[in-house]
Structure 1
């Protein structure tokens, strides 16, 4: 009997030591097929394959973060890439959501360096002595302001920041200006054609769209009052960011501004073991994600855990604690 018990114990121990986790097989909802989020999907897929060649993350192109939150809320996707600001809106149940979305869980940040930029035509800045966002309100300049299309989170953030600086839609129009909603590339064209005076957007420093604006137009980058930054971070979960001086032609000094970030998010329905395997693969093979684009070189495991907009998935939290990244 003792021999049988000992053999069973040895067999159990052997089974525990040699058991293999199930491969990860997940769908990731991202954005448009050719954008950075699709590249992140490819990098995440490579990371899980490095951990287990049988694993796969299948990228699904969607309308972006708000659409992905809708899919997560309905448990129609395993994971989604979403902006921190979109999460804050969803958790509060604000438009476009009809009720708070409570089933989301974080795997981790993928980046948090998409700062809000406000490019103003230098001729307007010089004429009205404008160098900061709040100067727009006090100067009474008739500025035609471009913001992103409705449904793009940078539109929400830009409009909020303008309002915090004293530039509601009514105030802009009272000064003889207007707010025009258009995509990033369309804004650049409108500025170059003289149909708007200011471009706003939140993407990486020296993004191709920003370089085109800087190279094809005589523009300045406006300072942002700290009170506006603080209010924006509180409202949207954004974080402080410094646009280094000299990034653009007429920008000699550093500019402080809020920055959007993108999170990899799942739901509370994802098994803990799967969330653990996914997160451990990302920790162990983060270079696969960093390699997808030059803009991802600052990604680190420390950054991945640097979020407080929603709870971590239980499996992700376990992996981070084991790696010493969470206490």
Structure 2
């Protein structure tokens, strides 16, 4: 069945240049104003409007993925952006959720290229022989390690990866160090000022905060043991990504790490035709989303249709199947 025939069967019209989708009027819960997710919200809105000028995707700023899952779980928003790792935790009913959240369905994968970075001051790395995460626990290094704030999924992932190599709060304290909670930009400032020795975060390669660290601090990027990557991916539903050698000043070799991704998610309450209209608009007008930021340039229909920790909404799945993107 061709895409146009499928859409017609649903009572909406989406195809190439002439046809348009039924207008949608939806609320999308994202993250902080001015961040990438707010830009994605604008791009998704433009993609829907490109098929029907009466369509509206209204962006709602929130505390991020965990907050959006709470809104979706209570059917208090139509759409939400969230990380794959956050979705995995919600499906299992892990903290901060009291029970599994089971009504979420994916509309599309928006990106999967936010790798975990572990930067260490080069002088300390050389003094204590730190080349890998696996070297930290036995090194005795009194590291002050920046971890993102509680409620940010990168803090959960970073702590799990460090624990997998024996780096716990007790070990760090015994060595004379500590974990310090700070956001990405704060971490950059703190390591530059000598108040942190190591920072951790999962953001795009050469994100502005990482560029600031690379330009203003003498740091090296630690490697990550393969078994840590595999265990993290199993626990959080994350992926694997290579940070190419030369991405940062003191990085000569490729570094493979865990990578977070972000999903556009609806609920089981969304009608099939609405989910199909939205998925169709994203495929047909993907340049509207790619154009919101240089980091989104490689978004593709194939990525939109990549299976994740969440089932696809039936309406979106039918569109992807008809387009030959999934079986």
TMscore range, shorter length? over 0.9
Q: Secondary structure at the match of 2:66?
A: helix
Q: Secondary structure at the match of 2:312?
A: coil
Structure 2 CA distance, aligned partners of 1:134 and 1:17? 54
Q: 1:19 to 1:120 in 2, by over 3 A?
A: closer
Runs of 4+ in 1 over 4 A off after TM superposition: 15-21
Residue of structure 2 in register with 1:245 after alignment: 245
1:182 and 2:182 are equivalent in the alignment: yes
Structure 1 CA distance, aligned partners of 2:165 and 2:193? 27
Task: Name which one, 1 or 2, has greater alpha-carbon Rg.
Answer: 1
Residue of structure 2 in register with 1:103 after alignment: 103
Any residues of structure 2 matched to 1:1-327 within 5 Å, and which?
Answer: 22-327=22-327
Residue of structure 2 in register with 1:8 after alignment: none
Q: Secondary structure at the match of 2:120?
A: strand
Gap runs ≥5 in structure 1: 1-14
Task: State the Cα distance separating 1:66 from its structure 2 match.
Answer: 0.5
Please provide the CA RMSD for this pair: 1.5
Q: Secondary structure at the match of 1:325?
A: coil
Deviates more, 1:183-192 or 1:212-221: 183-192
Task: State the Cα distance separating 1:165 from its structure 2 match.
Answer: 1.2
Question: Could you state the TM-score of these two structures normalised by the residue count of structure 2?
Answer: 0.93
Q: Secondary structure at the match of 1:95?
A: coil
Deviates more, 1:260-269 or 1:183-192: 183-192
Task: State the Cα distance separating 1:16 from its structure 2 match.
Answer: 8.1
Structure 1 CA distance, aligned partners of 2:11 and 2:298? 36
Deviations 1:18-71 (A, max 9, x none): 976631111100011101111111111111111112211111111110000000
Gap runs ≥5 in structure 2: 1-7, 14-20
Task: State the Cα distance separating 1:306 from its structure 2 match.
Answer: 1.5
The size of the alignment, in residue pairs, is: 313
Deviations 1:159-196 (A, max 9, x none): 00000111011111122211111111111121112111
Q: Secondary structure at the match of 1:256?
A: strand
Structure 2 CA distance, aligned partners of 1:30 and 1:99? 22
Task: State the Cα distance separating 1:308 from its structure 2 match.
Answer: 2.4
Q: 1:262 to 1:91 in 2, by over 3 A?
A: same
Structure 2 CA distance, aligned partners of 1:17 and 1:104? 21
